[in-house]
């Protein structure tokens, strides 16, 4: 039974890159009928916060990724916050000490820093030099009795470490590439590698799917699995998310947090779709996919090894596609908060529909809906359409048609536009010459939603009022 986890550190809002990791894990779990676990890696109390944890949970939910076990829903391996699992780590650390696989280390951070500096300066490897590796039990007791608080260090065996990564194939770490590392700090808190492994082991994780930046950590993780006597999971290290310049995707490339995209008016299904497509090609012609379709088609074995380069234009394109494939009712519901000035209007759904082809995200909605507000003073290019005899005739005819026929539906408005065009059929005019004067007279602008939408939403009386104003009648 597949059991995977997403293990964010709550030190910031959910980053696009982490969301991609979460998505791969989730898609794999859902595709395999497995279990998706959310584990909060908050062992660093200075950098972690509960509010960031909440923010991450909120963004994951917004993306549509749900979890079967986690800090908020509990589960058979609770607690799911590392800060609450200290006892589990200490218990496992004792086990390693008993087996002789871990030893107390009295080196202070200052001493370690100094050793590292010297090693680098002398061109030696900066790995831990092993000074505390073979302290006698007597010496350990004496130093502890003297008030020194040791950390606990893992005794790394001298041999090559190799494993099969599901993306990278055979990965090897030669002898000497890993030094003895800390598993418990002197204050009793677990080290990063130790807590990750103890959790993956005790939570029965079968596949670890994470970013390539953790690839080298895997050597230590495999050693710990073996030392603790647990079977190691399968590993898959996916490529990292890069900015357009090839650097790791960061602030200088623009928005990096999922919440920023949510606030800009991107749809969760579009963002998830986009993140999945960054390293995976769907079957020909099936690029616009919601989560359900992704679960059906996605195969973790098809993940590409090449870096994933963020491309905002492609995201925009996908978002536009998702906006236009969404049921209107649902679209209207999510659009409301982006256009509070209009969302209470009885014809808000029609208004949204009228600008759907002009937007790539919901943040652009208010700007497009301005067309339905009070007419603006036309700029020169727009004002041009109101000058001359043709414009005067068109506006007069439009007013006459509106007085004669009420507008009760979008079809009525379509018919009004058609009538106007028919009225000038024999005049050798371009459609624009007929429609633009009316558009500019109604809104003061030379672009915006299709004319029949404007007429329907504004209503007959308002259209007539604006035409009277324009014609000075
Ligand atoms: N907490 C780690 C991170 O946020 C993840 C560790 C792992 O996936 O093994 O990068």
Query: Whats the size of the chain, residue-wise?
Result: 473
The string of pLDDT tens digits covering residues 347-392 is 999 999 999 999 999 999 999 999 999 999 999 999 999 999 999 9
Under the banding of pLDDT at 50, 70 and 90, the label for residue 125 is confident
Distance 7 CA to ligand 1 centre (A): 5
Distance in angstroms (rounded) separating the CA atoms of residues 224 and 227: 5
Distance in angstroms (rounded) separating the CA atoms of residues 96 and 329: 59
**Is residue 432 among the annotated active site residues?**
no
Mean pLDDT, rounded, of the chain: 96
pTM attached to this predicted model: 0.93
Q: For the residues 108-120, what does the mean pLDDT come to?
A: 94
Distance 299 CA to ligand 1 centre (A): 22
* pLDDT score at 473: 58
Q: Where are the alpha helices (DSSP H) in 153-216?
A: 192-202
* pLDDT score at 83: 97
Q: Which residue has the tokens 């590292």?
A: 116
The string of pLDDT tens digits covering residues 191-225 is 999 999 999 999 999 999 999 999 999 999 999 99
57, 167 contact by CB (below 8 A): no
What residues flank ligand 1, with Cβ below 6 Å?
7-9, 41, 196, 210, 214
Distance in angstroms (rounded) separating the CA atoms of residues 164 and 172: 9
147, 101 contact by CB (below 8 A): no
- Which domains are assigned to the chain? 85-238 (3.40.50.620), 374-471 (1.10.10.350)
Which of 116, 251, 397, 432 is the catalytic position? 251
* pLDDT score at 285: 81
Q: For the residues 243-255, what does the mean pLDDT come to?
A: 90
Instruction: For ligand 1, atom 3, name the residue with the nearest CA.
Output: 8
Among candidate residues 66, 76, 27, the one with its CA nearest the CA of residue 207: 27
Instruction: For ligand 1, atom 5, name the residue with the nearest CA.
Output: 7
The string of pLDDT tens digits covering residues 389-447 is 999 999 999 999 999 999 999 999 999 999 999 999 999 999 999 999 999 999 999 99
Cis, peptide link before residue 79, omega less than 30° from 0? yes
């Amino acid at each position: 039974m597949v059991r995977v986890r997403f293990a964010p550190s709550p030190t910031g809002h959910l980053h696009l890159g982490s969301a991609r990791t979460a998505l791969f894990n989730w898609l794999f779990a859902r595709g395999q009928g497995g279990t998706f676990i959310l584990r909060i890696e908050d062992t660093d109390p200075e950098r972690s916060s509960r509010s960031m944890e909440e923010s991450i949970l909120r963004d994951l939910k917004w993306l549509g990724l749900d979890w079967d076990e986690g800090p908020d829903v509990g589960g058979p391996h609770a607690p799911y916050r590392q800060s609450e699992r200290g006892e589990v780590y200490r218990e496992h650390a004792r086990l390693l000490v008993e087996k002789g696989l871990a030893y107390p280390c009295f080196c202070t951070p200052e001493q370690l820093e100094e050793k590292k500096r010297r090693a680098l300066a002398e061109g030696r490897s900066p790995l831990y030099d092993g000074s505390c590796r073979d302290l006698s039990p007597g010496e350990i007791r004496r130093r502890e009795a003297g008030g020194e608080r040791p950390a606990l260090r893992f005794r790394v065996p001298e041999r090559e470490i190799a494993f099969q990564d599901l993306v990278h194939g055979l990965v090897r770490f030669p002898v000497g590439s890993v030094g003895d590392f800390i598993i418990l700090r002197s204050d009793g808190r677990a080290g990063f590698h130790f807590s990750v492994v103890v959790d993956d082991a005790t939570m029965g994780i079968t596949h670890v799917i994470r970013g390539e930046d953790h690839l080298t950590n895997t050597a230590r993780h495999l050693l710990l699995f073996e030392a603790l006597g647990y079977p190691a999971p399968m590993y898959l290290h996916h490529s990292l998310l890069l900015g357009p310049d090839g650097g790791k995707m960061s602030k200088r490339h623009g928005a990096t947090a999922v919440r920023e995209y949510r606030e800009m008016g991107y749809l969760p299904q579009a963002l998830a779709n986009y993140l999945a497509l960054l390293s995976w090609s769907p079957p020909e012609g099936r690029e616009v996919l919601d989560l359900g379709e992704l679960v059906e088609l996605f195969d973790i074995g098809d993940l590409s090894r090449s870096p994933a380069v963020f491309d905002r234009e492609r995201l925009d394109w996908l978002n536009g596609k998702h906006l236009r494939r969404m049921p209107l009712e649902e679209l209207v519901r999510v659009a409301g908060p982006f256009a509070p000035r209009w969302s209470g209007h009885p014809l808000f759904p029609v208004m949204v529909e009228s600008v759907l082809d002009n937007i790539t995200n919901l943040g652009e909605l208010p700007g497009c809906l301005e067309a339905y507000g009070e007419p603006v003073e036309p700029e020169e290019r727009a004002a041009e359409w109101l000058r001359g005899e043709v414009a005067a005739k068109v506006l007069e005819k439009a007013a006459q048609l509106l007085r004669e026929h009420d507008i009760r539906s979008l079809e009525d408005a379509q018919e009004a536009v058609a009538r106007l065009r028919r009225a000038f059929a024999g005049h050798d005019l371009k459609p624009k010459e007929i429609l633009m004067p009316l558009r500019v007279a109604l809104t003061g602008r030379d672009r915006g939603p299709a004319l029949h939408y404007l007429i329907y939403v504004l209503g007959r009386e308002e259209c007539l009022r604006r035409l009277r104003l324009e014609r000075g009648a």
